[in-house]
Structure 1
Amino acid sequence: MMMMMMAAAEELGLLECKVCFEPYGPGGQRRPRNLPCGHVLCLGCAAALGGAGRRGLECPFCRRTCGSADTSDCLPLLQLLEAVGAAATSLPPAAAGAAGGGPAGPALRLALGGWGALVNPTGVAACPRSGRLAVAHDGKKRIKVFGASGACVQQFGERGDAGGDVKYPLDVTVTLDGHVVVTDGGDRAVKAFDFDGRGTLALREGFCLPWGLDTTRENEVVVTDSEAGALYLLTADFGKGKLKKSQVIQSKLTSPRGVAVSQASGAIAVVEHLKAKGPNNSSTRVKIFSADMKLIGQMDSFGLNLIFPSRIYASAVAFDKEDHIIVTDVCNQAVLCLGKPEEFPVFKPIISHGLSYPVGLTYLANNSLVVLDGGDHSVKIYSST
């Protein structure tokens, strides 16, 4: 599976710099860097193109000029490199029938975006009332909103905009009252906007690196802080731009990123990213807490490997309407059902083909499954069965 994943990534041109054609790496001169225009170069080429005697770094593809300080790490590609290093085994053909429980496989109904429309997307969320989809990506305007028909109806969050600046979005959620909330890795903030793109709230204090977020049944927002190893609960009047309360509801987590809140039970699922010695030993763990933050279950790559000859690397998590825990798996390019905590271990593929690098996951009100595919820069909507 590792070879298949590498081949797919190479076909999409994701793992090599398009200037020097050298493969990207996690450090040094081969580290992938974003330009403000959305194109990506390795650090070495970015330094050479913006070297001494030049007035700025000129993108070799679109000719837009920027300063060297305006570049940033391309986190999606760094995560892809991390996942490729972690991928060691393939999804076994028998795994689909190895464990029961969970929903049946849905069919692809609609695909949105694509390269040019979306650039290195990192998060997707659905408005519970209107069905509109908010997508965070690294394009000129960082947030793109799609209507129920699939057409783009709004874009905002251009870097440098007064009151609407988004430097590097990591995830997005939509509150029950229709506000788009974004974690910004560029200035380590949590920012809220209305659907017209007007900024209503920006929280820049107290976070080390806010990453994943989701909305609760009470219209509060749960945020993971990857560097602090903590889970925050934010209570705010997003329309008036007033923060009422920010509290740590869980600490001592290991690099938490993706998070999901069950609209049925209030349970919270968190994806931890675990580091180990050796380049291929990274793994993930999904922890599930009850609404009152008691640990009720967890599933990691090692535990699954005791039962199934496969290894998962979870990049996003969600609850379906029946409270099954659903994850995207970049190792196997799949969406998997892990069942309910009391059913663990369950390992049921829901989508096992047609995905390149699934990084985001949500459900629409009609139970349609929405998958954000960072490999082909698209949003894929699967009909419920």
Structure 2
Amino acid sequence: MEAGPSDGGRETSDPLREAQARLLECQVCFEKHGACKERRPRNLPCGHVICLECVVALAHPETLAFLCPFCRRPCKSSDTSDCLPLLQLLEILAPRPTRPPGQAAVALQARPRAPGPLVLRRTFGGWGTLLNPTGMALGPRDGRVVVVHNGRRRVSVFDADGARVRQFGERGEAGGDVRYALDVAVTPDGCVVVTDAGARAVKGFDPAGRPGLVVRAPFRLPWGVAAAPRGAVLVTDLEAGALFLLQADVAAGTVLEARRLRAGLLGPRGVAVSSRDGAVAVLERGGPGLRVKVFSASMRLLGQVDPFGLSLLFPAEMSAATAVTFDPEGNIVIADALHGAVVSLGRPGTALDIRPLVTRGLSHPVALAYSEDKSLLVLDGGAHSVAVFKAS
């Protein structure tokens, strides 16, 4: 009679593989948990665990409420907490680095074509002045810095030296209500345009902060906004998957034109317009992560940067990209919130040219802008402040 297999010959499951599938991945997005920001595992009040990015994605932007995706128990993002046992397990299983962290970035900075590192010159704002800021824009005539945040008055205006000169957009204020601001732009005549996710509308204020414009149709969830030539603004719509052009008399509250420029975008968020040639960059969220799509001024697709192309050249994750802009030379620049970095991707339509601009001194960059003197302004959501960098 043929002998049966011994216990030692039985096929057993690999506990590490099982842990990888059941514990080390978020069961909503199926991305690996990690110790850094968006990938951090968070305990829900019901006991289930999902990553921080999924908590933010599921939560209502105004009330922070959502339902557990597994048991449907109501909760709020503010009620979640780090899953410490899982974080400790991740630390134990983490591979030991074979080279010092940041070595790849330093090597890229040393390339002959790379500019000198940008140096932090000053900061302004801070906790008590700005509360969880989300968007920033510069006035084209006076260099004033306009920031939208979650404070009592949603719009704060600073002069070129960083002193706050005006606040407006208080929630509940008649005519000037801003519920949950996501982004802001300043038109050539100094008017301020805000995307309000709480109201699902685009709202405008004259240079003195007086409300004048509220536009809901054709928008479903307006997100990013940027000033365009001839006084227009470009608006991305996350739910519609589209880019719109809005031309309006902001002070009078009159819409002159609102039309869709581009459809079929995947979760478009940030948008930027090059002052050099009118090129348009859109930060998309879809598929494996985020990507930047670049169009000419006539909306012809010039190219795109996806997570795979970026990871080959720089230790950053496109899934952590939070903002996009153009520098004065027309190079595309993105903020990497996971690593607290700012990276230049080169000119649209050319080969990818990765150049780290800022690799330290930032907590959670969420918006970028360049001033007339070519200083880089970074809105740091983690520090609730604006950081100003210049070449050394």
Counterpart check, 1:339 vs 2:339: no
Where do 5+ consecutive residues of structure 1 fail to align?
A: 45-70, 78-87, 277-282
Q: CA deviation at 1:170?
A: 0.4
Q: Secondary structure at the match of 2:147?
A: strand
Q: CA deviation at 1:103?
A: 4.4
Q: CA deviation at 1:217?
A: 2.5
Q: How does 1:152-301 map to 2 (within 5 A)?
A: 152-276=164-288, 283-301=289-307
Give 1:332 deviation, angstroms: 1.6
Pair 272,197 (structure 1): closer, same or farther in 2 beyond 3 Å: same
What pairs up with 1:3-22 in 2 under 5 angstroms?
A: 5-6=36-37
TM-score normalised by structure 1 residue count: 0.76
For residues 245-267 of structure 1, what are the alpha-carbon distances to aligned partners after superposition, in whole Å with 9 as ceiling and x for unaligned? Answer: 11111110000000000011000
Do the aligned partners of residues 339 and 202 (structure 1) sit closer, same or farther apart at CA in structure 2, a change above 3 Å counting? Answer: same
One-letter code aligned to 1:5: C
Equivalent in the alignment of 1:122: 134
SS at match of 2:117: coil
Amino acid at match of 1:311: E
User: Which whole-Å CA distance do the structure 1 matches of 2:249 and 2:62 have between them?
Assistant: 34
Task: Kindly provide the amino acid, as one letter, of the partner of residue 119 in structure 1.
Answer: L
Change (3 A) 1:147 1:73: farther
The 8 Å contact of residues 153 and 167 in structure 2, kept in 1 or not, is answered as yes
Mark the CA change 1:195 to 1:370 in structure 2 (over 3 Å): closer, same or farther. same
Q: CA deviation at 1:178?
A: 0.2
Judged with a 3 Å threshold, the aligned counterparts in structure 2 of structure 1 residues 31 and 297 are, in CA distance, closer, same or farther, namely closer
| Stretch moving more, 97-106 or 163-172 | 97-106
Match of 1:134 in 2: 146
Q: 1:177 to 1:356 in 2, by over 3 A?
A: same
2:156 corresponds to 1:144: yes
Partner SS, residue 97 of structure 1: helix
CA contact (8 A) 2:61 2:197 kept: no
Conserved? CA contact 2:55–2:77, under 8 Å = no
Tell me whether 318-327 or 232-241 shows the greater mean CA deviation: 232-241
Aligned counterpart, 1:97: 107
**Using a 3 Å threshold, how does the CA distance of structure 1 residues 16 and 375 change in structure 2: closer, same or farther?**
farther
Change (3 A) 1:97 1:204: same
Q: Deviations over 1:144-194 (max 9, x none)?
A: 111112111001101111110000000001111000100000011001102
User: Cα–Cα, structure 1 residues 28 and 211, in superposed 2: closer, same or farther, change >3 Å?
Assistant: closer
Deviation of the 1:206 alpha carbon: 1.1
* Count of residues in Structure 1 that have an aligned counterpart in Structure 2: 331
Alignment equivalent of 1:111, drawn from 123, 126, 140: 123
| CA–CA distance in structure 1, aligned partners of residues 113 and 242 of structure 2 | 31
Contact 1:364 1:370 in 2 (8 A): yes
Query: d(CA) in 2 for partners of 1:42 and 1:181?
Result: 27
Tell me the distance in 2 between the aligned counterparts of 1:29 and 1:181: 25
Q: 1:367 aligns with which of 336, 360, 374?
A: 374
C-alpha spacing 1:247/1:96, structure 2 compared with 1 (3 Å): farther
SS in 2 for 1:186: coil
- Deviation of the 1:101 alpha carbon: 4.6
Alpha-carbon displacement from aligned partner over 1:281-325 (angstroms, at most 9, x marks no partner): xx2100100000001111011122234454333110111110011
Quote the Cα distance in structure 1 between the aligned partners of 2:353 and 2:219: 35
RMSD of aligned residue pairs (Cα, Å): 3.5
The answer for the alignment partner of 1:67 in structure 2 is none
Q: Is the 8 A contact 1:124 1:136 kept in 2?
A: yes
1:305 corresponds to which residue?
A: 311
Report what 1:50 is aligned to. none
User: Could you say if the C-alpha distance between residues 25 and 123 of structure 1 is closer, same or farther in structure 2, counting changes exceeding 3 Å?
Assistant: same
- Is 1:319 the equivalent of 2:350? no
Q: With structure 2 as the length reference, what TM-score do the two structures score?
A: 0.75
**1:157–1:73 Cα change, 3 Å:** farther
Runs of 5+ consecutive residues of structure 2 not aligned to the other structure: 1-32, 68-74, 82-94
Deviations 1:201-250 (A, max 9, x none): 11012111000011113221000001111000111222332211111111
Question: Could you tell me how far 1:196 is from its partner in structure 2?
Answer: 2.4
Distance 1:365 1:351 in 2: 19
Structure 1 distance, partners of 2:201, 2:166, is 22
Aligned to 2:229, the other structure's residue is in SS state coil
Taking a change above 3 Å as real, the CA distance of residues 241 and 349 of structure 1, as seen in their structure-2 partners, is same
**Percent identity of paired positions between Structure 1 and Structure 2:** 44
**SS of aligned partner of 2:284:** strand
Structure with the greater relative contact order (CA < 8 A, sep ≥ 6): 1 or 2?
1
Residue 218 of structure 2 contacts residue 258 of structure 2 at CA under 8 Å; is this kept in 1? no
In 1, Cα distance between equivalents of 2:165 and 2:118: 26
Determine the C-alpha separation between the residues in 2 that align with 1:28 and 1:179.
35
Distance 1:234 1:269 in 2: 17
Contact 1:92 1:310 in 2 (8 A): no
Q: Helix, strand or coil: the match of 1:94? A: helix
Query: What SS class does the counterpart of residue 293 from structure 1 fall into?
Result: coil
Larger radius of gyration: 2
Q: Secondary structure at the match of 2:239?
A: coil
